[in-house]
Amino acid sequence: MNKIITVLPGDGIGPEVIKAAQKVLDTVAEKFSHQFTYLNAKIGGVAIDEEGTPLPQETIDLCKKSDGVLLGAVGGPKWDTLPGHMRPERGLLGIRKALELYANLRPVTAHKSLLDASTLKKEVIEGVDLMIVRELTGGLYFGQPQERRQENDGESVVDTLYYKNYEIERIIRQAFELARLRRKKVTSVDKANVLESSRVWREIAIAVHADYPDVELEHMLVDNAAMQLIRDPKQFDVVVTENMFGDILSDEASMLTGSLGMLPSASINGNGPGLYEPIHGSAPDIAGKNLANPLATILSVAMLLRYSFLMQEEADAVETAVSKVLEAGYRTGDIAEKGQPVLSTEEMTEKVIEHI
Amino acid sequence: MNKIITVLPGDGIGPEVIKAAQKVLDTVAEKFSHQFTYLNAKIGGVAIDEEGTPLPQETIDLCKKSDGVLLGAVGGPKWDTLPGHMRPERGLLGIRKALELYANLRPVTAHKSLLDASTLKKEVIEGVDLMIVRELTGGLYFGQPQERRQENDGESVVDTLYYKNYEIERIIRQAFELARLRRKKVTSVDKANVLESSRVWREIAIAVHADYPDVELEHMLVDNAAMQLIRDPKQFDVVVTENMFGDILSDEASMLTGSLGMLPSASINGNGPGLYEPIHGSAPDIAGKNLANPLATILSVAMLLRYSFLMQEEADAVETAVSKVLEAGYRTGDIAEKGQPVLSTEEMTEKVIEHI
Ligand SMILES: CC(C)[C@H](C(=O)O)[C@@H](O)C(=O)O
Ligand SMILES: CC(C)[C@H](C(=O)O)[C@@H](O)C(=O)O
């Protein structure tokens, strides 16, 4: 197949891990007789520096023309003092909205050979395999009004948690679809004892469930979910929740395995191109040093293959290669234990390629 | 001193642990020559059953007349199907608002003798001693509008995160005051890269900090805080955050030690009576069986003595007694390891009293 991939290296270690990911994509193309064409575009700090905005219109246009988008990372201390609308992360929020990427998929898998990296006990995380499905284009992040007010009795400030019901329905449906391909359990997380939006969320979850009688549905309050993730993460298969709750819970969950450098993510929309990125951020302290762990980005490539190109076999090949490389004992600095030899970004990428 | 304490046993194990706490209070009164008078009142499910509302006006009146309020727990399956405004937890939200209990103090301490109860590794939690200071009467919990809407293009729903600036200021000030009595570090948690209320929060934190130059202030994004609590909880001293974030993070933090049955809480207001309660909830499955762990409620008594009655010595005596009892190996069922003898609620209470 022919596929067009827009590549957004971004800031910090972004360019290095994106280069690694492209090598892996090239190998997949060769092995499985596909043709991948890359379009390069700017986002985040590098876009601010060169174009004066974290999300140039040209970037949006290129993304829309492509079959999938691969992002490195955005941000860094250089841009931390700029005003809010000019910050690198505005580029991220903007591209999510522009491509209507309403579903953020955050899988957390405990790799057998990395169990010791966790601050949790081995027996608690061994076998963890969950996916947080976070609503990504609604809720508190985008609701209006969002403003400061001058009232008679003093100043105040407001943000708005707003959802159209169809936005809730489509993300919950997405979660059920994903659960069908996994262990068939959906945990819908809300705060229905306090929030009206959560009560609507829960009603819609129950209604959508009627279309998926083969999948188990459970409801959990967000505070309890934050506890249960630590108490017994193995109980979860697919967790679906609103944008702000999902931001918090997915980062909490990502720390369970202890190796952020391993975790991919996908932000998708039923129709258009999806966006794939490692969750680790731009790590400015090690940028440009060939030290970054490329595996999270390589696993994001696997998600791109699986969810946007429907290339299951190819995705499996990439994921299996990563597992084999880890089992063989290869490590980048962030996941190496004392005494283990440490590979560079490029060496690690080569190892993965050898195993595809 | 003479003090009036309103006692709200509530539901489930509430009455048992409150009875235990009162015995401890009686002992303190005797030892230190105080006089504590108890007023009994109803809240939660029991109030719904007997008065038709989770928070009778009489309960509010009695609480307002007293020097401190001690609450057991509210809720249970019996009332789970009632409409929202008639649920037991409405009683809790109502009393917080009625007494303007804007500061929720949630200490998390890793007791040396209970380290194994955690799902986290011993070396990660040994020495943890943090306090989450959660804003309790504003934000998403109480902001208006909170409603369902019928719009031209379909249904929608809205909740509102609203703060008056003075509400933000007083909770942050509270956190600095508490930090001064501890290790002099405040971590202010927000989502300033997305929310306007968080940007105001951060500005106010910086402004208030000017009055506390002896205390260190750090800002942390809420998603990062959710990670850091698992990665390295020892880095925290006082954490201050808004209502919804605080609900999630304080429950996450409470799971670090692995023993919910040990954790007290205080909800206070600069002037009026504070409300003290264990965080463990009503545990309907073991209610009435003399099995509940009374220590969280007894430690809540210590907070009552400390924060509402300013009886430092008395509070220390209670906390020290609890530590000694644990060190001596006494356990209720929830914190016993295999093979350890298990005490009943009443036996555990006796042990604490013996050590005061
Ligand atoms: C950078 C920030 C705006 C973003 C978010 O909160 O969505 C990030 O935390 C994430 O989860 O991708
Ligand atoms: C019962 C519920 C409304 C309450 C809250 O969310 O505040 C509880 O979770 C708590 O933290 O005390």
β-partners of residue B162 are A158, B139
| Crossing angle (nearest 10°) for helices A243-254 and B243-254 | 30
Query: Are residues A287 and A233 part of one domain?
Result: no
Find the A191 Cα to ligand 2 centroid distance in Å: 9
Whole domain around residue B351: which residue ranges?
2-128+259-355
A308 CA: distance to closest CA in chain B (Å): 27
Query: Are residues A288 and A240 part of one domain?
Result: no
pLDDT digits (tens, 9 = 90+) for A173-221: 999 999 999 999 999 999 999 999 999 999 999 999 999 999 999 999 9
- Whether residue A266 is contained in a domain is answered as yes
B273 among annotated binding-site residues: no
Q: Which ligand is nearest to the CA of B92?
A: 2
Query: Are residues A308 and A191 part of one domain?
Result: no
For tokens 């001293």, the residue is: B237
Query: What is the H or E stretch that residue B178 is in?
Result: helix B165-180
A126 CA: distance to closest CA in chain B (Å): 12
The closest of A257, A117, A113 to B227, measured between CA atoms, is A257
- Whether residue A212 is contained in a domain is answered as yes
A268 among annotated binding-site residues: no
Q: Which of A221, A255, A289 is the last residue of a domain?
A: A255
Q: What's the mean per-residue pLDDT of chain B? A: 96
Residue B148, SS3 per DSSP: strand
- Whether residue A177 is contained in a domain is answered as yes
pLDDT of A353 reads 98
Give the whole-angstrom CA distance, residue A320 versus residue A298: 11
Q: Is B169 on the interface with A (CB under 8 A)?
A: no
Q: Is the CB of residue B89 below 6 angstroms from any atom belonging to ligand 2? A: yes
**How does DSSP classify residue B57?**
H
| Residue B84 pLDDT exceeds 80 | no
pLDDT digits (tens, 9 = 90+) for A234-287: 999 999 999 999 999 999 999 999 889 999 999 999 888 999 999 999 999 999
- Whether residue B117 is contained in a domain is answered as yes
- Whether residue B203 is contained in a domain is answered as no
Backbone angles phi, psi at B161, to 5 degrees: -95, 100
pLDDT of A259 reads 87
pLDDT of A41 reads 98
Confidence tier at B258 by pLDDT (50, 70, 90): confident
A282 among annotated binding-site residues: yes
Confidence tier at B86 by pLDDT (50, 70, 90): confident
Q: Which of A233, A255, A277 is the last residue of a domain?
A: A255
pLDDT of B339 reads 83
CATH of the domain at A244: 3.40.718.10
Q: Which ligand is nearest to the CA of A280?
A: 1
Contacts B259 to A, Cβ<8 Å: none
Q: Which of A255, A285, A319 is the last residue of a domain?
A: A255
Query: Are residues A251 and A335 part of one domain?
Result: no
Averaged pLDDT for residues A327-336:
94
Among chain A residues, CA nearest to B227: A252
Query: Are residues A240 and A141 part of one domain?
Result: yes
Phi-psi region of A136 (alpha: psi -120 to 50; beta: other; left: phi over 0): alpha
B104 among annotated binding-site residues: no
Averaged pLDDT for residues B202-223:
98
The atom number, within ligand 1, closest to the CA of B191 reads 6
Averaged pLDDT for residues A46-69:
97
Give the whole-angstrom CA distance, residue A88 versus residue A103: 21
Phi-psi region of A84 (alpha: psi -120 to 50; beta: other; left: phi over 0): alpha
Q: Is the CB of residue B140 below 6 angstroms from any atom belonging to ligand 2? A: no
- Whether residue A34 is contained in a domain is answered as yes
Find the B74 Cα to ligand 2 centroid distance in Å: 10
Query: Are residues A242 and A161 part of one domain?
Result: yes
Query: Are residues A299 and A334 part of one domain?
Result: yes
Give the whole-angstrom CA distance, residue B65 versus residue B99: 11
CA angle A195, A200, A201 (to 5 degrees): 90
Cβ-nearest to A146 among B155, B196, B252:
B196
Q: Which ligand is nearest to the CA of A101?
A: 1
Mark whether A251 is an active-site residue: yes
| Residue B89 pLDDT exceeds 80 | yes
Strands, E assignment, chain B: 2-10, 35-40, 68-73, 103-109, 129-135, 139-151, 154-164, 185-190, 216-221, 238-241, 264-268, 274-278
User: Do the chains contact at B119 and A256, CB–CB below 8 Å?
Assistant: no
- Whether residue A115 is contained in a domain is answered as no
Contacts B140 to A, Cβ<8 Å: 161, 194-195
Mark whether A338 is an active-site residue: no
Q: Is A126 on the interface with B (CB under 8 A)?
A: no
pLDDT digits (tens, 9 = 90+) for B287-330: 999 999 999 999 999 999 999 999 999 999 999 999 999 999 99
User: B11, B74, B86, B89: which to mutate for ligand 2, most atoms within 8 A of CB?
Assistant: B89
Give the whole-angstrom CA distance, residue B50 versus residue B73: 17
Query: Are residues A348 and A327 part of one domain?
Result: yes
pLDDT of A338 reads 85
- Whether residue A201 is contained in a domain is answered as yes
Q: Is A80 on the interface with B (CB under 8 A)?
A: no
The closest of A175, A226, A219, A165 to A197, measured between CA atoms, is A165
Query: Are residues A251 and A134 part of one domain?
Result: yes
CA angle B95, B97, B98 (to 5 degrees): 60
Mark whether A247 is an active-site residue: yes
Q: Is the CB of residue A223 below 6 angstroms from any atom belonging to ligand 2? A: yes
Active-site residue, from A11, A190, A237, A247? A247
Cβ atoms A5, A275 nearer than 8 A: no
Confidence tier at B280 by pLDDT (50, 70, 90): very high
Please give the tally of structural domains in chain A.
2
pLDDT digits (tens, 9 = 90+) for A82-123: 887 889 999 999 999 999 999 999 999 999 989 999 999 999
Best residue in B128, B156, B163, B280 to probe A by mutation, most A CBs within 10 Å?
A: B156
Q: Considering only CA atoms, which residue is closest to atom 11 of ligand 2?
A: B247
Query: Are residues A355 and A325 part of one domain?
Result: yes
pLDDT of B194 reads 94
Q: In what order do the strands lie in the sheet with A185-190?
A: A35-40, A2-10, A68-73, A274-278, A264-268, A103-109, A129-135, A238-241, A185-190, A216-221
Query: Are residues A21 and A45 part of one domain?
Result: yes
pLDDT digits (tens, 9 = 90+) for A281-309: 999 999 999 999 999 999 999 999 999 99
Give the ranges where A88-195 is alpha helix by DSSP (H). Answer: 88-98, 122-125, 165-180
- Decide the pairing of beta strands A129-135 and A103-109: antiparallel
Q: Is B87 on the interface with A (CB under 8 A)?
A: yes
Mark whether A223 is an active-site residue: yes
